[in-house]
Chains A and B, each alone.
Chain A
Amino acid sequence: MTAVASPAVPGGTAARPPRLTCGRGALISVVVLVVLAAAPLFLAPFATTTLTRVLVFALFAVSLDLLVGVTGLPSLGHAGYLGAGAYAAGWVSINVTAEAPVPLLVGAAVGALAAALTGWVTVRSAGVFFLMLTLAIGETLQQVADSWESVTGGANGLTGVPLVRLAGTPLANVGYTYWYVLAVGALGFALVAVLVRSPWGAALRGIRDNEPRMRALGYPTSLYKYVVFVVAGGVAGIAGSLLVAQQRLVTPADLGFLTSSFALLAVVIGGAGSLWGACLGAALVIVIRDALGPSLDGHGTLVLGVVFVLVVYLLPRGAAGLRPRRRRENA
């Protein structure tokens, strides 16, 4: 797990991926992937379903981390793009085809398009203003989902989404769906990880740390922010298409404020800027909300709140913040 993360340690240190860690990193990520791939062979259906949800939410959290942790743009409306992708993928699956890459590509395209249409307003602002603008956009998108009944099904949601089909065969049980979500999720994660490691990613971190200086150096920072906003929207759209593949249902709640804030919570728990941290955070959020929550007598959200407070006080840099200390001890 640790390894995939090496590119994403926050701050200037992120730019040093020593060759040694790199090799070890690759090895560990392969091991993690193999374990994840083998999981449904050993897990009961509900555990597999929960793990599928974790993967979907992890990819969503990673896309948000690209904005929050890497570029320093704290968004409260990111679920809008997840939802846009989910509705698009669901609609295409019902009305056109559920054949594998189609809903996925449509979801990604619509997520990116929605981000492209709204991003030119948001990226001109920063800090609290960015927060409020994205919140407003998220709420607006939710309102659209709520009232555009002929397409979205309104408050009752878009139901009856068929199973994803791969080469004509429907992925007829939770295990196959899990593998589909895992494969796409891993690709999405890899895509974001590569972007974050690239010079472009370094420029984004530069913008996060000191935007005026980056501008003085000649970087068109607004353009950089716009592009990362659209990319994050596209990845969220992919996560949306996976969401609909898994739950075969989209409702306005999926693009609501609560979903956005849960994703932000996952990023903070994991440590903003660390992609694998965001995945761990997402796992924690989903396990508490979906697996433990139903049996907590209605106190699921309370537990999440307590976890959040504890993380902020005990792990100011999230789960990712644990790592350097441990390494020092080892060394």
Chain B
Amino acid sequence: MSLIISLKMPSGKGSKLLRYIEHRLRVSLTDNRTIVGTFLAFDKHLNLVLVDTEEFRTLRSKKGGGSANVIEERMEKRSLGLIILRGENVVSIAVEGPPPPSGGRVVAGGPGVVKGVGRGAPPSTTAVGGAPMGMGAPMGLGAGPVHGVGGMAPPPMGGPPPGMGMPPPGMGRGF
């Protein structure tokens, strides 16, 4: 295990982050945005893949002119679902909570995957195992894009059951 990690992430930063895969993370960005989502993947740039994502922005607007310097702060919240976050904009990452129960994550899958059927091993295995195939450039491009995107969501759903959802079991299952 540690061998794989050290080959992949020479900095050692990887292993610390790997520990939090499947956890809920709160990520603050350079533009005063905060993103809260379930952490699925990252790369060396600290690009992150999050599902069930919610975005929080505080919008400040001056209210009332002249001497009355009232600044109204409005917290705006939106649901984004599955996102890729560019590492360039990441200021800090905090662990918001443990991996949510898989039922809670169904929403991010979008309209097509309402049912949490993926708890069983087979669908999960195919989904996780199938996805990395797209790594080879031609394969990735060849894969039907719409299906590809649709296919992304199931792995988290079918991922490790709550409680045992640590990286090692999940990774072991993928291969």
Bind each other = no
Where the two chains meet, the residues of A that have a C-beta atom closer than 8 Å to any C-beta of B are: none
Where the two chains meet, the residues of B that have a C-beta atom closer than 8 Å to any C-beta of A are: none
